[in-house]
Homo-oligomer: A and B are copies of this chain.
Amino acid sequence: MTVVYTKEDLKAELLKLNKNIGFVPTMGYLHNGHKSLIEKSKSENEYTVVSIFVNPAQFLPNEDLDKYPRNKEGDIKFCEDLGVDILFMPKDVYFDYEPKVIAPKELASILEGATRPGHFDGVLTVLNKFFNLVKPKNAYFGKKDTQQLMVINNMIKSFFMNINIVPCEIIREEDGLALSSRNSYLDEEQRVMALKIFRSLTKAKNMIENGELDSNLIQKEMRGILEPLKIDYIEFVDKEFNKIDKIKLGESIILIAVYVGPTRLIDNIWI
């Protein structure tokens, strides 16, 4: 595995490869969720490039940019062990002044974007850079950030980019907690409380399997399970992120964002 720290070095390395690059952009502190993305990329592409960059542009001023967990040496070993071809760890990718990519409000001002205005602009601004640099055939993202997937797909289409975005299943702990680098913020008690998230989603799934399709009734049950956690949102949407009152099997997503102590966690389930 080659580790590179500048875009010039990355370009030089990429020149040695041919096409069929799979790309896994990450913010590091790699866990088994990332592992599943990397393994999928390895299985579908000749080369796999992983980037690790804690992107300041996608954090709001009051968010956890500074304390976001980092594990440089561990991440390098993690990628090495998985057979990653190129690991790109740039120090910075921004200039004094430069154009911004602004996500469309129709997708980016709701849900995550309502609580984190500007977040998706930062995501798209950095991914646009990385996509242009790496020129992947396929790029891998977890379904945990489902809204991010929609916003990225919209950019790919609108910018006429020739990249296939591959959504990957959420990886969970044995007890159901969706893997997230932010889980490291949780203390023992909060870790137990966080299980309510998956439990509420499982309850929703069970209700739907038993024929209940009314989102308001399902949401009421979920809110009961989640108590006393502070709920940011529970939302039922179709695949285009339009809100729905009635579940349609195979076309619906239930999204959830809650605070466990000061830590904000998200999760979702595709129905």
Binding site for B on A (CB under 8 A): 7, 94-107, 124, 128-130, 132-133, 154-155, 157-162
Q: What is the bound-complex CA distance between A133 and B104, given in angstroms?
A: 21
Tell me the minimal C-beta distance from A178 to chain B in angstroms.
27
Whether B104 contacts A102 by the Cβ 8 Å rule is no
**CB<8 Å pairs between A and B, sample of 10:** A7-B160, A95-B157, A97-B104, A97-B105, A99-B103, A99-B155, A99-B158, A100-B102, A102-B102, A132-B162
Knowing A129-B160, A132-B159 are in contact, say whether A99-B101 is a contact too (CB < 8 A).
yes
Q: Which residues of B contact A160 (CB under 8 A)?
A: 7, 129-130, 132-133
**Top 8 closest pairs, chain A to chain B, by CB:** A98-B158, A97-B104, A97-B106, A133-B160, A132-B160, A100-B102, A99-B101, A129-B160
Q: Which of B96, B133, B159 meets A128, CB within 8 Å?
A: B159
Q: Which residues of B contact A132 (CB under 8 A)?
A: 159-162
Q: What is the bound-complex CA distance between A147 and B104, given in angstroms?
A: 27
Whether A99 contacts B161 by the Cβ 8 Å rule is no
Q: Which of B97, B103, B105, B128 meets A107, CB within 8 Å?
A: B97
The residue in chain B whose Cβ has the minimal distance to the Cβ of A103 is B99
Q: Which residues of B contact A133 (CB under 8 A)?
A: 160
